[in-house]
A and B are shown apart, each in its own frame.
Chain A
């Protein structure tokens, strides 16, 4: 601290401080608060609040189109719609390894990724690495007439097929 020793300065008892020391602390504190506020403002600014991304839900035909054993690959939405034993379910086609788009393998009755050789069964479970997680299941809803809507942004637990 700037300590100008003048004879007229009163002796400080321990715990006391000069006005200058106190004001220096206040000033530095204000600078720190300003810096923190500026940093938070910038961080908040860099996080987009409105996204102009394509809608995540799409219509996927009628439940009658998916008898047990059908697998439809919707290439545009990167989603499989599967008629399973327990009902219809939708599953992301994006490989959980690094995000390549998987393909159904004709003949073997499974799903494979062209990038690093991951393989999945028709439930989305990993049968061959390097994929670390199974393919996520996505929310499917049906209206009264049985028309299906899939929302790719809502992940549901495995096994929750849509019973009709």
Chain B
């Protein structure tokens, strides 16, 4: 604290009970406190205290996983914004989409942000997969995380596809007609699967409602679940690639 001059207001805030409840470690001017900054924070605790410098280089990962992660956060935020104006019903869906585009202040901005981030997320996930493959970052001990990544890619594509129907325009209607007709061709399960997906025999209000629930609740929940596991495994497998760190002598097996 001696080398660290605090203003009176700063001292008042830092010594308040609320601040001391949230930030429980001292000033980050010792190695111990710098470590505590990371693992006393729920949002940072999966991060290792020390990271190899080379893994932060752009050419090491091209930041593709991070870009995809940021895209998914943008999608969640803008998606919630869109939900304030959108009704998933046949008479209203297309009208609400047009209202967002032409009437609501900044509606066109958030809708297009949602659209571009969606393209970025699919594109980023595919490129991230290629990067991992070509850098051999799928090899043991990371083989399990590769499988989690495949599930995440499938969920990403399903999210993209279920969102496609929601504007209820010609593109959406025919896209879903063609897609569900493809599903119908699957042996045995095809026809009942299509009936269950559409909630009927035709692409209509039941299909719109079902795709809406999948797009806004079910699939995002699954995505966040597996995303958490994916990021936690990076930490446990010793970073994004290369041999895992040797255990420190005082460290217990996780």
Which residues of chain A have a CB within 8 Å of any CB of chain B? 46-48, 51-53, 98-100, 153
Closest to B210 in A: A46
Closest to A54 in B: B202
Cβ B181 vs Cβ A48 within 8 A:
no
Question: Does more than half of chain B's interface fall in helix, strand or loop, or is it mixed?
Answer: helix
Known: A51-B201, A53-B204, A100-B174. 7 other contacts (CB 8 A): A47-B196, A51-B200, A53-B202, A98-B181, A99-B177, A99-B181, A153-B201
B188 close to chain A: CB less than 8 A: no
Q: In the docked arrangement, what's the CA distance between A98 and B178, Å?
A: 5
For B174, list chain A residues within 8 Å (CB): 100
**How many residue-residue contacts, CB under 8 A, span A and B?**
25
Closest to A99 in B: B181
Question: Does more than half of chain A's interface fall in helix, strand or loop, or is it mixed?
Answer: loop
In the complex, which range does the number of interface residues on chain B fall in?
10 to 19
For A100, list chain B residues within 8 Å (CB): 174, 177-178
B89 close to chain A: CB less than 8 A: no
User: Which 4 A-B residue pairs are closest in the complex by CB-CB distance?
Assistant: A99-B181, A98-B178, A99-B177, A51-B200
Cβ A48 vs Cβ B178 within 8 A:
no
Known: A46-B196, A47-B196, A48-B206. A53 touches B177 (CB 8 A): no
Q: In the docked arrangement, what's the CA distance between A99 and B174, Å?
A: 9
- 7 pairs of residues in contact across A and B, judged by CB atoms under 8 Å: A51-B201, A51-B206, A53-B204, A98-B181, A100-B177, A100-B178, A153-B201
For A51, list chain B residues within 8 Å (CB): 200-201, 206
